[in-house]
Amino acid sequence: MARLALTMACGDYDRVQALRTGRVTPEGIDLNLLPLEPEECFWRMLRFGEFDIAEMSLSSYCIARAKGDDRFVAIPAFLSRSFRHSSIYLRSGAGIGDPRDLAGRRIGVPEYQMTASVWTRGLLHDDYGVEASSVTWRTGGLEQPGRAERQPLTLPSHLRVEPVAADRTLIDELLDGEIDAIMAPRIPSAFRRGEPAIGRLFPDYAARELDYFQRTGIFPIMHLVVIRADVHARHPWVAQSVYKALTEAKRLALDGITAAPALRHTMPFLLDALERQEAVFGPDPWPYGVAANRPALETFTRYLVEQGLTTEKPDIDHLFAPSTLAESRI
């Protein structure tokens, strides 16, 4: 039987390298894997449906489904995760010494709907009482002007979300005092250079992120994988085939970190970091599957409603291909 030729676009992660090299092959599929930055991948898939399979923003997918957009079907392989305490940057002199001081301020986000922003606003609300409605949100490119929301939003009137001028960036606005803080998944280049006008809200972010995980059990999910619905309708077996392949590729990536006799990663204290990581997360810090991630997904879908991005919580089980909701038993 001829194998099905499909194209998948996603980030260049260690957890997909076995698919790229051919060490892992999805059953019945000849996979063309395109390495793309997440922003480009999301934009091209949401706007044009260019790929058969693609990495996708968790929030963009949930919002689209809540609007009745059923062009995609997800599988619970969560290619990107990140704690977000490190991603809040302040303008020096803004008078923000405590997270609660963010209420009433102007905060920049690349997109109001982006998953990183949803998680960050959620932790500020849950742990510090900062309501999304208490902030004026300014949207735009972090360091390049002209960024827009990747899909149209209809937000409640009590939320204030305003784009910056088309020729301005969030960093311009921060340095000029037009906004007080930025929430961004990428580290601003000015911060990396040591610009004294920019600091972190949580300089001790690593300790806070560890505390957050120990209290909640949540390692925030950023991205999942979607299949175009027309592909899934014609070949429903593709969902399980791709899911199994991604799971195996991740296993090989985790096993390979310590299996080599020489360090493959430019991290002198890699072994120590891995041992401390296992003490916190166990043997698999990056679980796939709905069951293992239900608390995180329940929390995230609650945030979508609280932040005005959906009117009702999406039904988690309806977000994913049915064949991926339970592991097969042989």
3-class DSSP string for 114-176:
CHHHHHHHHHHHHHHCCCHHHCEEEECCCCCCCCCCCCCCCCCCCCEEEECCCCCCHHHHHHC
- Work out the pLDDT band at 180, boundaries 50, 70, 90: very high
| Backbone φ and ψ of 236, nearest 5° | -60, -25
Nearest alpha carbon to residue 23 among 265, 285, 250, 284: 250
What is the rounded distance in angstroms from the CA atom of residue 235 to the CA atom of residue 229? 10
Nearest alpha carbon to residue 27 among 328, 284, 316: 328
- Tell me: pLDDT of 13 over 50: yes
What is the rounded distance in angstroms from the CA atom of residue 139 to the CA atom of residue 155? 14
Place of tokens 């505390």: 211
* Order of strands across the sheet that contains 4-10: 29-35, 4-10, 53-57, 221-228, 72-81
CA distance readout (Å), 96 to 9, 90, 181, 212, 242: 40, 8, 9, 21, 46
What is the rounded distance in angstroms from the CA atom of residue 137 to the CA atom of residue 149? 13
Looking at residue 38, its pLDDT comes to 93
Looking at residue 256, its pLDDT comes to 85
- Work out the pLDDT band at 327, boundaries 50, 70, 90: low
- Work out the pLDDT band at 259, boundaries 50, 70, 90: confident
Nearest alpha carbon to residue 61 among 316, 290, 311: 316
**Kind and range of the H or E element at 242?**
helix 237-259
- Work out the pLDDT band at 329, boundaries 50, 70, 90: very low
Looking at residue 258, its pLDDT comes to 76
Rounded to the nearest 5 percent, the helix, strand and coil shares of the chain are 40, 20, 40
How deeply is 122 buried, as exposed, middle or buried, from its count of CB atoms within 10 A (0-12, 13-18, 19+)? buried
Instruction: Tell me the pLDDT tens digit for each residue of 131-174.
Output: 999 999 999 999 999 999 998 999 999 999 999 999 999 999 99
**Kind and range of the H or E element at 324?**
none
| Backbone φ and ψ of 15, nearest 5° | -75, 0
Are 63 and 310 spatial neighbours (Cβ–Cβ below 8 Å)? yes
**Distance from the Cα of residue 263 to its chain's centroid:** 28
Sign of CA pseudo-dihedral 292, 298, 303, 309: positive
- Work out the pLDDT band at 330, boundaries 50, 70, 90: very low
Are 213 and 280 spatial neighbours (Cβ–Cβ below 8 Å)? yes
Nearby residues of 261 by Cβ (< 8 Å), 6 or more positions away? none
CA distance readout (Å), 104 to 117, 136, 237, 298, 307: 17, 7, 50, 28, 16
